[in-house]
Amino acid sequence: MDLLTQRAVVTLGYHPNLATLGAVLVLLSAVAFLSNSHGAWKHLPPGPRGIPLLGNVSQLLGDKWLTFTALKEKYGPIVHLTAAGQHIIVLNNLKVASDLMDRKSSVTSHRPQNIVVGIMTGNLLITFLNPGDVWHRMRRASQEGLRSSSVPLYYPALYREAVSLSVKMLSDPSKMEWYGHIQGAVAGGAIRMIYGRSSEEDVSTLNEYVKRLTMSATSPAAHLVDVLPWLNVFPAWMSPWKKMAQRAFETDSGTFKKLFRETERRGMDTPSMVNTLTKNAKSLGLAEEEEYWLAGAVFTGSQTIIDVLSWWLMAMLLYPETQQRAHDEIDHVIAKGRLPTFEDCKKMPYMQAMVKEVIRWRPIDPLGLPHTTSEDIWYEGFFIPKGSMLVPNVWAINRDPDTFGPDAHHFNPARHLDDTTGNMKPSPADTKEEGHVSFGFGRRICVGRHFANKMLLINMVLLAWATKIDAERGPDGRPIGLDVDGCVDEGVTVRPVPFPCNITPRFPGALSMLHQGLAELRLHE
């Protein structure tokens, strides 16, 4: 998924040292005031009045998606905010977001400045690249490796790790360890898809890369250079953040090169994204480092799948009737005595709808990944200046009753099905048949969405086939440890606050069948 490192953007999380920035912010405020009171600037979209120097800092703290959703009720679907002189345009409904980020994508596809991430990634992480030769080459190559018709090549890798996840969930049914099991299985599946094989060492190394990228790039000290770009002129020995970023780039480049070359040496027998890139190297025109980093960037998206599965687990506890309907559909399709397969999934519209619904209901990136305008825009009488950040309020769009019905705040997979036939029905216009907007907009829409959907589907089907997921209950019979409205902000994504649950075999012999299936898969590796 291309939702990879969204929280690493400076955008809505400015944390500058106010003592250092005071004079600069005074100047920015003066310039902004003089500019905004004349000509086209009088036609900025409506929004709350900011405070001197800091702008709308009070609206940019905490769960911003909830704040922005409340602002929609007062100011409408398009809201203007500022932060230290930066214009921020919040898009609160599907029409506005699609008009600006899909239909005007030629001028709304740039990214906000992020000097720290640029150094950490050698300006080779496609998520943060602005349109240009390198971005176009990497985008075309990623589409080649992750297009819908290519995903079946990776089914064996995804299936092996999905079976492994179900084994771990039942073999170690600790009420609080399920997140670690999901994390290991999803990371392992992504590595197998990219490099053709996986090991615990690879999983650990690449998870450290993701953690380092997000934690470092979202630290307050790192943000300062993005507010004051002239700080970048100082050498690394005078700038600890720059030394850290350069060291990270060297470490991660070495890791990606090693994994890439090892895959090449093993040959083309095992389908992998690396083999696809190698096979088409000449036509794709990628430089060596571009190849390494494109493969590494795909792994970065695995965190989003981990967190979607975490929200799905919570949904199974909150909406047990949906779990029962999933069980009924699986039992109708699967003959006793065998594990479900990808082929079986084609006959399970409710499970397919469940994938769409969990991504819609609890978007793991509730504010999307911001775009930046590359020129001035006039939209429905409003002026949007060049360099403005466009922030899609994915949370509000995905839960808009006008689009998804009066129960849009509830988890209900059936909303994606035809009431008469029980099959998938067309998704709302401008959702690209996804049933939500969590995969982004325009030229920046997630290239890996087909891969993500299939990985989520096979994991959900196998878990629903093998297990019963129940809430841990207190003496009063009520579920305990469920913070339904809370979340853990990981810098990249948001996931549920950890909660206990009981995961047990759904029928006798489920675990032994999984063990046998996993042993057979290992024989063919």
b or e along 134-167 (b: 16 or more beta carbons within 10 Å of the residue's beta carbon)?
A: bbebbbebbebbbeeebbebbbbbbbbbbbbbbb
**Cα dihedral sign, 382-385-386-390:** negative
The residue type of 10 is V
Contact of 78 with 91, CB cutoff 8 Å = yes
CA 109 to chain CA centroid, Å, is 17
Read off the amino acid at residue 396.
Answer: A
Closest by CA to 491, choosing from 7, 1, 167, is 7
CB 402 within 8 A of CB 410: no
As a whole number of Å, the end-to-end CA separation of the chain is 26
For residue 523, count other CB atoms closer than 10 A to its CB: 6
- In Å, what is the CA distance from 109 to each residue of 203, 270, 454? 32, 35, 27
Q: Which residue has the tokens 């398009």?
A: 78
> CA 67, 70, 75 angle in degrees (round to 5)?
115
Residue 265: Cβ-neighbour burial (10 angstroms; 0-12, 13-18, 19+): exposed
Backbone angles phi, psi at 390, to 5 degrees: -100, 120
Q: Are 88 and 80 in contact (CB under 8 A)?
A: yes
Residue 345 annotated as part of some ligand binding site = no
Q: Which residues are annotated as a binding site for heme?
A: 446
Q: Which residues are annotated as a binding site?
A: 446
